[in-house]
């Protein structure tokens, strides 16, 4: 990986990520090496190239994501150290849903740390599906138990989860029409017959 840098763009939503990736490769000579979906509609795009190309690509991808209003973060790692390079290579090689082919030269074959980590990562994608539905029902029960309403931060603390996860659940519940939002609080909707 001598002399190559990594560029990262994290967006909310696949369409925004595709637009950002398109802008990245059109703006500079970089290679897209990974699309990572950590969950909750987040998409991380990873590119590699020389430092100036990665910076130009990340700037262009960030501008595209900002136009959508869905940029989460953007970063460039210039000429990473061997350990950092190994970490990124490890993350890239875990899931082969990458957007491009993995580079065959460099550290590719030596010590990819296969130990017990890939099997530990395999069950995790299944859990968020069950946890998401479970979190949604727990959030709804929590809101229904408090007629005075609950804020997103109160829900996150009560359900012991992070704020972005709660905001995603609240949006789903709002879309389903089972809760309503007034000011900063969420209230249960009751059927008025």
Rounded Cα distance, 62 and 20, in Å: 7
The end-to-end CA distance of the chain, in Å, is 67
pLDDT at 131: 54
- pLDDT at res. 119: 44
The tokens for 166 are 């709660």
CB of 65 closer than 8 Å to CB of 16: yes
Radius of gyration of the chain (CA): 20
**Cβ 145 vs Cβ 122: under 8 Å:** no
Positions of the chain with pLDDT lower than 50, given as ranges? 96-130, 193
Whether this prediction's pTM lies above 0.75 is answered by no
The pLDDT value given to residue 13: 92
Q: What is the CATH number assigned to the segment(s) 5-100?
A: 3.30.70.1710
CATH 2.30.40.10 fits 129-188, yes or no: no
Q: Do 43 and 20 touch, CB atoms closer than 8 A?
A: no
Catalogue the E-assigned strands of 59-113. 71-77
Of how many residues is the chain composed? 193
What pLDDT shows up at residue 5? 93
Handedness of CA 143, 147, 151, 157 (dihedral sign): negative
Check residue 50 and give its pLDDT.
95
- Which residue ranges make up each domain of the chain? 5-100, 129-188
């Amino acid at each position: 990986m001598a002399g190559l840098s990594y560029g990262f763009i994290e967006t909310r939503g696949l369409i925004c990520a595709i637009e950002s990736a398109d802008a990245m490769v059109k703006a500079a000579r970089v290679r897209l090496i990974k699309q990572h979906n950590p969950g909750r509609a987040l998409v991380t795009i990873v590119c590699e190239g020389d430092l100036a190309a990665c910076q130009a690509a990340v700037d262009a991808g960030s501008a595209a994501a900002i136009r959508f209003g869905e940029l989460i973060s953007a970063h460039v790692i210039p000429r990473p150290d061997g350990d950092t390079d190994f970490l990124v290579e490890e993350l890239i090689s875990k899931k082969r849903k990458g957007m491009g082919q993995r580079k065959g030269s460099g550290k590719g074959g030596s010590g990819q740390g296969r130990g017990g980590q890939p099997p530990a990562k395999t069950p995790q994608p299944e859990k968020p599906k069950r946890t998401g539905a479970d979190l949604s029902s727990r959030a709804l029960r929590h809101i229904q138990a408090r007629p005075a309403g609950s804020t997103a931060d109160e829900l996150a603390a009560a359900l012991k989860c992070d704020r972005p996860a709660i905001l995603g659940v609240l949006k789903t519940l709002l879309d389903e029409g089972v809760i309503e939002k007034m000011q900063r609080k969420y209230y249960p909707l009751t059927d008025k017959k």
